[in-house]
Chain A
Amino acid sequence: MPANLCITPELGSEDMDPEVTTRMIVLGPRANVSESEVVNHLHLLNLPLTIKWTCYGAMITGKEKYVMEAVEELRKLDPYGIFTKERGFAPGDPRRCRGHRYGPREGFHQMEDEFLLLDYVGEALRNPREVTIEKKEPVSLEEFKEVVEESLENKD
């Protein structure tokens, strides 16, 4: 059966509420907490939120003030290992959720790329230090000449 890519969702009152927002909680590779700890902590906050446990961390939906409160509390667990960003679609929305369609979710490849950098970003936030980046420059003409002449001499 072909995947239905044009699902019409049944939007509830929460979906239509302009104050409701969704946040993705992404754990860095060296985070000191696990996904389950994050979700348990979110439940223990006892805020009116919808919480979804995911492979990268969690997703929370609710009124913006509660969501931000939860994010602030959550950051205290591991300030340099927990990253968050907003998400347009609510958790389980059939237009994005993989449970209803094939292939990776839109945005997966972006998150995969960024996840590889999260370790370094966390480290840069934890211990900021000055670094000097060596700029790669093209080989100079003199050096190139030397190499060519040397190889020609060796050939003889």
Chain B
Amino acid sequence: MVKVAVYPPNSLILADLVERKGHTPLALQKQIRQKIKDPEIDSPPMNITEEDPIKGLKYAAIEVPSGVRGRMSIIGPIIDEAEAAIIVDNAPFGFGCVGCARTNELSIFCLRKKDIPTLEVTYPTSRDETMDMVNKINSFLDNLNELDSDNADNADNTDNEDNE
């Protein structure tokens, strides 16, 4: 099972397709749930604490607006945890939950820069394009299965060598 980061991070279609193939989608909702369980954080417009822009410094420089750093404090751990990524390009306005173009650019840049298998698909506008997108995602996820089993075999071999 591979942890797959999806972008937009709250996408229903991407998360569902990843789950159907037995992988774990790294969705933003999990991070949000951790935040809203904190009894010290009351309401959505104010649920970024002063700690968050400081945490965001790991991903963006101090000159970067605090809004970007605050968002990166939530999205950043997803990027760190990702073992593979699926990114949707050219999505219409309103597709995605981040609400900040610069954070989107930075997150996609971080995912591309990370040395993990990445699939970039274009936002579909027709039946054939959707079919093509789903086919690409499914074959990418199937290949991840092979990679995962290869890695597991290598890990087993390493353990055996260590035991010997």
Residues on A facing B (Cβ under 8 Å) = 5-9, 11, 15-16, 18, 21-22, 24, 26, 83-89, 93, 95-96, 106-107, 109-111, 113-114, 117-118, 120-121, 123-125, 128-131, 133
Contact = CB atoms under 8 A, between A and B. Distances in A.
Contact of B12 (A22, A85, A95, A123): A85
Contacts of B36: 88-89, 93, 95
A106 B44 contact: yes
Interface string B1-30: 000000010111101110110000001111
* Main SS at interface, chain A: mixed
A68 B32 CA distance: 19
Interface string B127-162: 111111111001000000000000000000000000
A107 B15 CA distance: 15
Given A88-B28, A95-B43, 8 more contacts: A7-B43, A8-B43, A85-B15, A88-B33, A95-B36, A109-B94, A120-B130, A128-B138
B42 A84 contact: no
B46 interface: yes
Contacts of A123: 127, 131
B113 interface: no
B117 to A, nearest CB: 21
A124 B43 contact: no
B28 to A, nearest CB: 8
B103 to A, nearest CB: 16
A113 B94 contact: yes
